[in-house]
Structure 1
Amino acid sequence: MSPLLEARDLVRIYQTRRGLLGRPSNVRAVDGVSLKVRRGETLGVVGESGSGKSSLGRMLLGIDTAQGGAVYTNGKAMPVFGSPEWRSLRARIQMIYQDPLAALDRRISVAEQLREPLDIHRIDGSESRMARVHEVMLSVGLRLDQADKFPHELSGGQRQRVVIARALMTEPELLVCDEPVSALDVSIQAQVVNLLADLQHDRGLGMVFISHDLKVVRNLCDRVAVMYLGRIVEEGPADTIFSDPQHPYTQALVSSVPQPGRALKSRIILQGEPPNPGNRPPGCAFHPRCHKAEDICRHTVPETRSAGVECRAACHFAGHASLRELA
């Protein structure tokens, strides 16, 4: 059976320029990314800011066109952005944005914004659309008296529930969630994460969950893909990634998550900032910050290789060392 969503060797390049007279440079925001999302599965995409996570999410939806590679849904190539076929597909693939207040129209009531996807895609008769609005509001924990509210009259958690409800209106097969809880406080984060987990379980949704919060990813995701400077450096089942990471970058990220019984000395502190993506280091892009870097890392780009059951990592030494040895 074809995966619900598949990306093959995706590339996205942006051209930047420093000042009016500066030379243009190419930034490979997404550089040869391949991944799959199965039905009913949640794939977490993690990495530091600037690693290309949000660009990848937009490419998976077809909003940003791939300059290399392709995206497939149910085995079929993603239609051209803006075409009737693409608009029809968007009813089945929806996005949940990071900033709910920016994602919502402040001039339109909650009910109108929830009904809008049904009007655009001509789903259900006009008489039953409001009933559908009320049904979805209740399913995400909103009260019916909030239907006439405007976004600024709601709390941050309530606004994010509206964004989730709007994404669910067309009964999609896949949700792409771009940092959906980063703007919320911890208690509200837990409520929204639990809501997403319940919806995913009840509806059998596929989900791509983009985040830099590893605690949330560990609790929610079935599989995890770790990005660094536009590339996936490690991918595998969430339990394996967090218990026995193979790539030094993943080891550093996982070591930063507090866990009972783990000594503080096992924490791996990354030195310096990520390199300029417009001037990628030769060899392994992570080698300037890597605690295991050797000469081969400085001049040879590592191939993605098997690093255990259903795991792969782009490291010359994957499989030779684990976080357990550092604890």
Structure 2
Amino acid sequence: MSPLLEARELVRIYEIRRGLLGRPAQVRAVDGVSLQLKRGETLGVVGESGSGKSSLGRMLLGVDASQGGAVYINGVAMPAFGSPGWRSLRARIQMIYQDPLAALDRRINVAEQLREPLDIHRIGDAESRTTRVREVMQAVGLRPDHADKFPHELSGGQRQRVVIARALMTEPELLVCDEPVSALDVSIQAQVVNLLSDLQRDRGLGMVFISHDLKVVRNLCDRVAVMYLGRIVEEGPADTIFSDPQHPYTQALVSSVPQPGRALNSRIILQGEPPNPGNRPSGCAFHPRCRKAEDICRHTVPETRRTGVECRAACHFAGLAALPELV
């Protein structure tokens, strides 16, 4: 059986200009990313700002075109953005955005915004659409009186519930969540994460959860992919990634997550800032900040290696003792 979602060697390149008279430079925001997502599975995509997470999320939905590679939904290549085939597919794949107020139309009340996807895709009749709005509002914890309210009349948590409800209206198979709780207060974050977890479990959704918050990812996701400068440097089951990370970058990220019994001085502090994506370091892009870097890291791009069952890492020294074969 084909995976629900498969990305093969995705590439996304942006051109930037340094100053008014500067020559344009190419930035590979997504650089050869491959991944799979099974039905009913949640994949966390983590990394620092600028690692390419959001660009990857938009490419997985076909909103941003790829200059290389392809995306497949249930084994079928994704149609071109804006084509009739892509518009039809959008009923089955939906996105939840970081800023709920920006994602909603401030001029339209909640009920109309929730009904709109059903109107666009011509799902049901007038009566069934009204019933569907009411059912989904209840499923995400919105009260009936919220239906007549406008986005500015709701709290941040309520607005995000509306965004989630709108994404669920067409009964999608896949949700791509781009930092869906980062704009919310901590107390509200937990409510929204629990809601997403319940919906994913009850409806069997496949979910890509993009976040920089490793605590949330650890609690919510089945598998984790770690991105650095547009590439996946490590991927595997969440329990393995957090208990036995192999890539030095992943080790640093995981060490920053507070855990009972872990000494405060055990945190690995990364030196410096991520390199300029328009001027990628030679060899392993992480080597200027890596405490384990050796000469080979400065000159040779590491191949992705298996490091365990369903685990892989792009590091010259990861998993050599166990499974050195390439994937």
Aligned to 2:283: 283
Length-normalised TM-score, structure 2? 0.97
Aligned to 1:47: 47
Report the CA distance between 1:264 and its aligned residue.
Answer: 1.7
> Does the 8 Å CA contact 2:307/2:320 hold for their aligned counterparts?
no
Q: Deviations over 1:198-256 (max 9, x none)?
A: 00000000000000000000000000000000000000000000000000000000000
Return the letter of the residue paired with 2:77: A
Distance in 2 between residues matched to 1:94 and 1:122, nearest whole Å? 17
Report the CA distance between 1:127 and its aligned residue.
Answer: 1.8
Summarize the alignment of residues 84-163 of structure 1 with structure 2, pairs less than 5 Å apart: 84-163=84-163
> Does the 8 Å CA contact 2:305/2:319 hold for their aligned counterparts?
no
Report the CA distance between 1:319 and its aligned residue.
Answer: 2.1
Distance in 2 between residues matched to 1:185 and 1:162, nearest whole Å? 17
Return the letter of the residue paired with 1:115: R
SS in 2 for 1:70: strand
Report the CA distance between 1:9 and its aligned residue.
Answer: 0.1
Q: Deviations over 1:90-147 (max 9, x none)?
A: 0000000000000000000000000000000000111211110010000000001110
Aligned residues: 321
Summarize the alignment of residues 1-327 of structure 1 with structure 2, pairs less than 5 Å apart: 1-319=1-319
Distance in 2 between residues matched to 1:84 and 1:278, nearest whole Å? 35
Distance in 2 between residues matched to 1:75 and 1:316, nearest whole Å? 32
Q: Deviations over 1:3-39 (max 9, x none)?
A: 0000000000000001221010000000000000000
Length-normalised TM-score, structure 1? 0.97
Report the CA distance between 1:265 and its aligned residue.
Answer: 2.2
Return the letter of the residue paired with 1:84: P
Distance in 2 between residues matched to 1:238 and 1:207, nearest whole Å? 14
SS in 2 for 1:226: strand
Distance in 1 between residues matched to 2:298 and 2:289, nearest whole Å? 11
SS in 2 for 1:201: helix
Distance in 2 between residues matched to 1:233 and 1:306, nearest whole Å? 12
Distance in 1 between residues matched to 2:315 and 2:108, nearest whole Å? 50
Report the CA distance between 1:59 and its aligned residue.
Answer: 0.1
Question: Which of structure 1's runs of 4+ aligned residues deviate more than 4 A?
Answer: none
Any stretches of 5+ residues in structure 2 without a counterpart?
322-327
SS in 1 for 2:72: strand
Report the CA distance between 1:308 and its aligned residue.
Answer: 0.8
Report the CA distance between 1:320 and its aligned residue.
Answer: 5.8
Distance in 1 between residues matched to 2:187 and 2:311, nearest whole Å? 33
> Does the 8 Å CA contact 2:249/2:290 hold for their aligned counterparts?
yes
Aligned to 1:325: none
Distance in 2 between residues matched to 1:229 and 1:273, nearest whole Å? 12
User: Percent sequence identity over matched residues?
Assistant: 89
SS in 2 for 1:307: strand
